């Protein structure tokens, strides 16, 4: 990092703080304003905020690392932009009618308060063990790669390195503007960060192709194809049937049950598990949906969700492709010491920051570093705000129903600080993971299925009741928590803390079943429990579920929804779908 790079980073922070100050000066000390920006977010702010919250450092760093190691395979997850269309067209009408602050609150309206408590607690746990901890860790990787010499020496044996210095510094700044400004500060800063993130990442992608192609982007793309080969450019690789060489490779050979053991991208898992996680995340996760809840009406919420779907098309080309470019540049030798002397397998996890450090010229490097900081801060700010909303609205207000608006906002700010402290303690587990992005997907794969089941079944099937919902979540979460408990010692072993399981034992088998297959199992178990329990108990009352499920919406509700969209929303949605299909057709070999 040269002085000009620091000037660019400083300019970014100045702009960010200016926006935060303006927003804080406009804010009001009320729950609606703090948690949902007064329900006054326009569609472009909603869409940009959804995108910025989703694309954290773990996506930028993790996706580029996956691209360098496995090619475009993980693009399946990024092409889940269609899930945002499901949010826009299926769930937005129900959320808008219910006027809820949180997803657990919606479950209480549809089912029961017990379901609300279960989802609130599990959601908070999910945020800690996945989004917050992984985001902090990814940010630490960026700083340790770009500024390895930065350190604070406390004693001869205790040195705080750049990993912790950078992470803590960004967390403090992000936590400050999130705690002071609430959802409004998060959303408006997200809009700024979206521009910086896309611009910075596009700069790195273009410059990488320019370098690979000897000052020609088109030649660079051709060289990328040639060096990476059809294997890395094959988006359909996970769907190749059993029996084709290189597919469904077991962890240990020989074994009769090889087909369901660990491998990177099993096609059954990609066909079933990936959409389940995607629909849970984009349609029912507080972290994402809170932005749509901040819109003033159904029209703005739908348009914002569709805009977010459009923005979601970018990560394949701005984060995964740079990973392939990193691999190609290393193989070609056109950028000396691009890996900083590390083996490519080790360097791939930090491919993105290594390219920023060793490839970009002064000035451009500062812009892209600002983009990485945007990713880290946007993601953390979103999850901090979601955590404080969940705890304050779903738990604190229930414990203290007489709390004033000022007390509620104060508790929301305190909840943010507590969540950060807990997440810091979880970082050693994340640090030992094989792959940052795969860790995130596996944790979500264990905790998402019960939520997916109760929301989707609850909206589409009016017969399902509160008891079915409650037990589906309890049983599903217990199975998912069991798998996480089994996985954690093995993950920590990689960090030097524990021993693995004896090969062939029950726990070894559980640990080695691909996380996507285990996620499918949790989904099936949760669905069966919900349906069986619901049908052996009394149906819900028609009054309780009015306007909260298909089959219970009134003619007035249906007309209001119809009046909230026209050809523009349809055309935009069609464009997103065509772009997704186009990507699958292009990355086919």
Secondary structure (H, E, C), 84-141: HHHHHHHHHHHHHHHCCCCHHHHHHHHCCHHHHHHHHHHHHHHHHHHHHHHHHHHHHH
**pLDDT at residue 94 greater than cutoff 50:** yes
Q: What is the mean pLDDT of residues 38-63?
A: 82
**DSSP SS3 for 234:** strand
**pLDDT at residue 34 greater than cutoff 70:** yes
N-term to C-term CA, the chain: 38
**pLDDT at residue 459 greater than cutoff 90:** yes
**pLDDT at residue 496 greater than cutoff 60:** no
Instruction: Give 86's pLDDT tier (boundaries 50, 70, 90).
Output: very high
Q: What does the DSSP assignment read for 164-214?
A: HHHHHHHHHHHHHHHHHHHHHHHHHHHHHHHHHHHHHHHHHHHHHHHHHTT
pLDDT the model gives residue 493: 56
pLDDT the model gives residue 66: 81
Give residue-wise pLDDT tens across range 191-249.
Answer: 887 888 888 888 889 988 998 888 888 998 999 988 888 778 877 765 555 444 444 33
pLDDT the model gives residue 61: 75
Tokens of 156: 């001869």
Highest mean pLDDT among 21-35, 101-115, 495-509: 101-115
pLDDT the model gives residue 106: 93
**pLDDT at residue 431 greater than cutoff 80:** no
| CA distance linking residue 24 with residue 60, whole number of Å | 29
The rounded percent of the chain whose pLDDT value lies above 90 is 24
Give residue-wise pLDDT tens across range 305-353.
Answer: 999 999 999 888 888 888 899 888 888 888 888 887 777 777 887 788 8
Give residue-wise pLDDT tens across range 549-563.
Answer: 998 988 899 999 999
pLDDT the model gives residue 149: 66
pLDDT the model gives residue 301: 94
Give residue-wise pLDDT tens across range 152-198.
Answer: 666 666 666 676 676 677 777 777 777 777 777 777 777 887 888 88
**pLDDT at residue 426 greater than cutoff 80:** no
Instruction: Give 470's pLDDT tier (boundaries 50, 70, 90).
Output: very high
Q: Lowest mean pLDDT: which of 29-33, 274-278, 460-464, 516-520?
A: 29-33
pLDDT the model gives residue 22: 79
| CA distance linking residue 242 with residue 248, whole number of Å | 7
Stated as kind and residue range, the H or E segment containing 232 is: helix 217-232
Q: How many CB atoms lie within 10 A of CB 134?
A: 27
Give residue-wise pLDDT tens across range 5-32.
Answer: 888 888 887 887 787 777 777 666 677 7
**DSSP SS3 for 552:** coil
Q: What does the DSSP assignment read for 363-420?
A: THHHHHHHHHHHHHHHHHHHHHHHHHHIIIIIIIHHH-TT--HHHHHHHHHHHHHHHH
Q: Lowest mean pLDDT: which of 77-86, 94-103, 294-303, 481-490?
A: 481-490
Give residue-wise pLDDT tens across range 371-393.
Answer: 777 777 777 777 888 888 888 88
Q: What is the mean pLDDT of residues 81-107?
A: 92
Q: What does the DSSP assignment read for 420-479?
A: HHHHHHHHHHHHT-S-HHHHHHHHHHHHHHHHHHHHHHHHH-TT--HHHHHHHHHHHHHH
| Structure letter (DSSP) for residue 216 | -
Contact 451, 121 (CB under 8 A): no
Contact 519, 449 (CB under 8 A): yes
Q: What is the mean pLDDT of residues 284-301?
A: 90
Residue among 418, 456, 346, 348 nearest 90 (CA):
456
Q: What is the mean pLDDT of residues 63-76?
A: 81
| CA distance linking residue 163 with residue 142, whole number of Å | 8
Tokens of 429: 């587990």
| E strands present in 263-304 | none
How confident is the prediction for the chain on average, in pLDDT? 81
| CA distance linking residue 423 with residue 127, whole number of Å | 9
Peptide bond into 123 cis (omega under 30): no
Query: Who has greater pLDDT, 178 or 64?
Result: 64
| CA distance linking residue 103 with residue 179, whole number of Å | 21
pLDDT the model gives residue 432: 56
Q: Lowest mean pLDDT: which of 140-144, 459-463, 527-531?
A: 140-144
pLDDT the model gives residue 424: 67
**pLDDT at residue 257 greater than cutoff 80:** no
Mention every residue, 6+ apart, whose C-beta is less than 8 A from residue 309: 81, 82, 84, 85, 88, 573, 576
Q: Which CATH number fits domain 3-586: 2.40.10.10, 1.10.645.10, 1.20.1730.10, 3.40.630.30?
A: 1.20.1730.10
pLDDT the model gives residue 175: 75
For residue 272, CA distances in Å to 117, 247, 269 come to 28, 17, 5
Q: Where are the domains of the chain?
A: 3-586
| CA distance linking residue 545 with residue 109, whole number of Å | 7
């Amino acid at each position: 990092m040269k002085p000009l790079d620091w000037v660019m980073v400083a300019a970014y922070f100045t702009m960010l703080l200016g926006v935060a100050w303006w927003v804080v000066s406009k804010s009001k000390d009320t729950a609606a304003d703090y948690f949902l920006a007064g329900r006054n977010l326009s569609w472009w702010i909603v869409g940009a905020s959804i995108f910025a919250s989703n694309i954290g450092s773990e996506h930028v760093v993790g996706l580029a690392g996956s691209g360098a190691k496995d090619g475009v395979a993980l693009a399946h997850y990024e092409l889940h932009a269609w899930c945002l269309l499901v949010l826009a067209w299926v769930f937005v009408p129900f959320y808008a009618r219910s006027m809820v602050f949180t997803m657990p609150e919606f479950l209480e309206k549809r089912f029961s308060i017990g379901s609300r408590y279960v989802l609130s607690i599990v959601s908070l746990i999910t945020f800690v063990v996945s989004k917050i901890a992984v985001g902090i860790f990814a940010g630490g990787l960026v700083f340790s790669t770009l500024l390895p010499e930065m350190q604070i020496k406390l004693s001869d044996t205790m040195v705080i390195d750049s990993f912790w210095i950078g992470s803590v510094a960004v967390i403090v700044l992000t936590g400050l503007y999130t705690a002071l400004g609430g959802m409004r500060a998060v959303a408006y800063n997200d809009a700024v960060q979206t521009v910086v993130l896309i611009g910075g990442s596009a700069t790195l992608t273009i410059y990488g192709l320019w370098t690979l192609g000897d000052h020609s982007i088109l030649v660079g793309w051709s060289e990328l194809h040639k060096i990476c080969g059809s294997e890395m450019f094959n988006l359909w690789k996970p769907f190749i049937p059993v029996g084709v060489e290189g597919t469904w490779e077991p962890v240990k050979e020989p074994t009769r049950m090889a087909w369901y053991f660990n491998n990177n991208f099993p096609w059954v898992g990609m066909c079933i598990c990936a959409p389940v996680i995607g629909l849970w995340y984009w349609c029912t996760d507080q972290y994402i949906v809170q932005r749509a809840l901040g819109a003033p009406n159904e029209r703005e919420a739908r348009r914002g969700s569709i805009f977010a779907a459009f923005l979601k098309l970018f990560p394949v080309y701005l984060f995964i492709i740079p990973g392939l470019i990193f691999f190609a540049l290393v193989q070609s030798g056109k950028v000396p010491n691009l890996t900083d002397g590390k083996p490519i397998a080790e360097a791939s996890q930090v491919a993105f920051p290594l390219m920023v450090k060793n490839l970009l010229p002064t000035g451009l490097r500062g812009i892209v570093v600002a983009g990485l900081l945007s990713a880290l801060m946007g993601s953390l700010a979103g999850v901090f705000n979601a955590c404080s909303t969940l705890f304050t609205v779903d738990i604190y207000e229930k414990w203290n129903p007489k709390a004033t608006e000022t007390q509620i906002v104060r508790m929301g700010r305190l909840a943010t600080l507590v969540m950060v402290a807990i997440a810091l303690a979880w970082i050693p587990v994340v640090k030992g993971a094989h792959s940052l992005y795969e860790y995130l997907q596996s944790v979500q794969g264990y905790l998402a299925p019960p939520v997916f089941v109760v929301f989707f079944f609850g909206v589409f099937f009016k017969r399902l009741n509160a008891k079915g919902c409650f037990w589906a979540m309890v049983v599903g979460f217990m199975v998912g928590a069991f798998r996480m408990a089994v996985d954690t010692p093995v993950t920590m072993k990689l960090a030097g803390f524990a021993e693995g399981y004896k090969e062939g034992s029950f726990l070894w088998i559980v640990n080695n079943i691909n996380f996507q297959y285990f996620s499918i199992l949790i989904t099936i178990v949760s669905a069966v429990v919900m349906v069986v329990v619901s049908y052996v108990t009394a149906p819900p009352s028609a009054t309780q579920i009015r306007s909260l499920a298909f089959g219970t919406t009134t003619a007035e509700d249906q007309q209001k929804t119809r009046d909230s969209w026209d050809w523009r929303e349809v055309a935009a949605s069609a464009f997103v779908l065509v772009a997704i299909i186009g990507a699958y057709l292009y990355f086919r070999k």
